[in-house]
Amino acid sequence: MKVLLIGSGGREHALAWKLAQSPRLTKLYAAPGNPGIGEEAELVAINTEDQQAVLAFCQANAIDFIVVGPEAPLVAGLADTLREAGFTVFGPSAAAAQLEGSKGFTKDICAKYSISTGAYQRFTAAEPAKAYIREQGAPIVIKADGLAAGKGVTVAMMVDEALDAVDSCFDGAFGAAGAEVVVEAYLDGEEASFFCLCDGTHALALASAQDHKRVGDGDTGPNTGGMGAYSPAPVMTPDMVERTMKEIIEPTIRGMTDSGHPFSGVLFAGLMITKKGPELIEYNVRFGDPETQVLMMRLKSDLLTLLHAAATGTLDQMDAEWRDEAALTVVMASRGYPGTYEKNTPITALPEADANTKVFHAGTALKDGQLVATGGRVLNVTAMGDTVGAAKATAYAALAKVKWENGFSRSDIGWQAVAREKA
């Protein structure tokens, strides 16, 4: 099979690495990719926002299967454009991608299909939103409706903070994404990321992970795209996975089919495990970053076969097998991230990969033969171990071999799981 992978982050490097191991793969292309992905795939310099350019490439190169990594092209309808031209694509239609593209859309599905999630109201003007907040009190959560690169959410511990968040949304802090605001009840518990493949009708549970969204040790400082992750998430016991499938994922799949927008691709549920059980915080319609890096380390099954089954409606015949060990990844980011940072700083040494360690590239590039950091999140140092603690020790030992002066990382990825293992 000739495969084109769309994307250029650590998630796509992990997907490329795993796709490249498939016996069914004859050729892997990636657009635009990065130097790490370039070790697994032939990089193609097309603008992936230009759907006609992507389509022309697929036609000219007789591509059999396209895997779309990030959400933006999905929300923009890349999967629709390619499918209409007869291609097989992993990733939802633009209509089904609304599960990530509009928080209000997802909340309405939850209400209609009795899916556990925080009570909410949607608003298109500040005053009614503020009146609702005053009535509900704090803590309370304010969300810009649309895609805001993970930055459109304020978990307000005080009413004043919530009122300010409403003003900043309607004042345009998140552009068009903030034209509608969702005000949601605060959920108390432990968070987990849970992934399933869907083929429009069936859902196949993959695995769970825990992400560290805050930039600083001890989960302090501003939110980021994710500073590290580990898998599996201990809070996702077999019973919790079964409840999540029955109470959250399966009704969502039914709801999407009933509404005429069957969902195919990967459904990534951000969950809060509360005293009542699993509750949905949000959906994403693509793999998590950096969660995918740890998932791919643990996946024993052939990724290409699984993704192709999701795209062709044959998931009911599939099973996914996982290594029992834990995987953990530490993100190295450019100093200043998630604020402003210097670009093109040199990375002069990386550790060798071995059976249990792998460095995935995110925001890197080659400039005159020198590897440089071009993004906020730049490297994902990933390791396996019998316990999360062992994986953590191996990952940080590998990270110590990275020579990159402008890089930083958290030093405590996996702390909750390590504390549990010691208890």
Q: Which stretch binds ligand GLY (CB under 6 A): 59-67, 239-247, 282-290, 319-327?
A: 282-290
Q: Which amino acid is at 116?
A: S
Query: Residue 246: left if φ>0, alpha if ψ -120 to 50, beta else—which one?
Result: alpha
Contacting residue, 36, 101, 178, 226, with ligand GLY by CB under 6 A = 226
From the list 48, 93, 284, 364, which residue makes contact with ligand GLY (rule: CB under 6 A)?
284
Closest approach of ligand AMP to the CB of residue 405, in Å: 31
Please check whether residue 356 is in contact with residue 334, taking contact to mean a CB–CB distance below 8 angstroms.
Answer: no
Sign of CA dihedral 104, 106, 107, 113: positive
Q: Report the nearest approach of ligand GLY to the CB of residue 212 (Å).
A: 9
Tokens read off for 174: 């998140």
139 or 351: CB nearest ligand AMP: 139
> Which of these, 158, 225, 185, lies nearest to 378 by C-alpha position?
225
CA-wise closest residue to 12 among 58, 43, 49: 43
Is there binding between residue 100 and ligand AMP (CB under 6 A)?
Answer: no
Q: Is residue 12 within the footprint of ligand GLY (CB under 6 A)?
A: no
List 299's β-bridge partners, or say none. Answer: 322
Stretch of 60-68, 230-238, 281-289, 317-325 contacting ligand GLY, by CB under 6 A: 281-289
Minimum distance, C-beta of residue 410 to ligand AMP, in the bound complex (Å): 16
Using the rule CB under 6 A, which residue among 20, 53, 94, 155 binds ligand AMP?
155
Q: Where are the beta strands (DSSP E) in 166-263?
A: 181-185, 190-199, 203-211, 214-216, 220-223, 228-231
Query: Which CB, 5 or 55, lies closer to ligand GLY?
Result: 5
Chain-centroid distance of CA 205 in Å reads 16
Q: Please say which residue, 51 or 244, places its beta carbon nearer to ligand AMP.
A: 244
Give min distance, CB of 134 to ligand AMP, in A. 18
- Rule CB under 6 A: say whether 186 interacts with ligand AMP: yes
Q: Which helix (H) or strand (E) segment is 372 a member of?
A: strand 370-373
Whether a cis peptide bond, with omega within 30° of 0, leads into 32 is: yes
Contacts with ligand AMP by CB under 6 A lie at 118, 141, 150, 153, 155, 184, 186-187, 191, 213, 270, 281-282
Contacts with ligand GLY by CB under 6 A lie at 211, 225-226, 284, 288-289, 291
